[in-house]
Each structure stands twice: as C-alpha cells, then as structure tokens.
Amino acid sequence: MVWFACAALVVLAGFFVLMPLFREPKNKLGTAFAAETELDRLLNRKAVVYANLKDLELEYKMGRLSDADFQQLGTGYKNEASAILYRIDQIRASEGRDKTSAKASASRKSRRTESGSGQGRDLSRCPSCGAEVIPGKKFCADCGHRF
C-alpha cells in the first residue's frame, strides 16, 4: 500500500512538473500569435466587413431590406471599412518608418564605429598597452613596444 502511495505521489509530482512544459509552448504560440500583428487582424476584419457589405447588397436586391435599413447598415459598414483601411495605412506607414529609421541608425552606428576604429589606430597611443605615447618616440614608455 505504501509503494502505491509513493507511486501516486511520484506520478502526481511528475504531472505538476511536466504540466508547465506542455502548457508553455501553447502560451508562447498564443502570445506570438497575438503579437503577430494588428495588421493581420485588421485585414481579416476588412474581409469580413466587405463580405457583410456584399451580403447586404444581395439582401437589398432580393428585397429583404428596406431602403432605410440598407442605407444605415451600408453606411455603418463603409465607415468601418474606411476606419480599418485608415488604420492599415497607419500601421504600414509606421512600419516603413521603423525600417528606414532602423536603417538610418544602423548606418549612423557603422559610421561611428568606423571613426572609432580610426581612433584606435591613433599613433599617439601605444597599440600594445594603450598608454599615451609622446610623438617621435620609437618605443612605448610603459611596455617597451616598438612602433
């Protein structure tokens, strides 16, 4: 009976230890999906709104909707569609800006490192120990490195 209790405990403990492992990838996937882009969500929403608009026109043509309903619903969908399109444009514009600003900062950075390495080759500093060197001297006063 004791061994059974122990086995049950081990199984239980194993279960609780392993649970997060099974759960974690799902959560990661979920957050990745959520973070995947507002753009995807908007594009889906746009498709839905356009589908609704088509249905609306169909129903109107089939006489299931009054003029007033058709106008009201149609205007609602069109407003939503234009809001979605506007937001999509905003996101795409900001993404483009991010890319160009990232590129610009990258080139700024590389320019900075270029000038930095130029300073590294500065002959007023010993290439061996980095101590300041009096111009014209042939050996480093600190480490004796020959220039």
**Total of chain residues touching Zn ion, rule CB under 5 A:** 8
Residues 116-135 within binding reach of Zn ion (CB under 5 A): 126, 128-129, 131
Place of tokens 């249905």: 55
Q: Which residue lies nearer to Zn ion by CB, 66 or 128?
A: 128
Q: Which of 140, 7, 76, 31 is nearest to 84 (CA)?
A: 76
Q: How far is the CB of 102 from Zn ion (least distance, A)?
A: 40
Can you spell out the DSSP letters for 34-79? HHT-HHHHHHHHHHHHHHHHHHHHHHHHTT-S-HHHHHHHHHHHHH
In whole angstroms, the minimum distance from the beta carbon of 131 to Zn ion comes to: 5
Q: Measured from the CB of residue 130, what is the shortest distance to Zn ion in angstroms?
A: 7
- Chain residues binding Zn ion by CB under 5 A are 126, 128-129, 131, 140, 142-143, 145
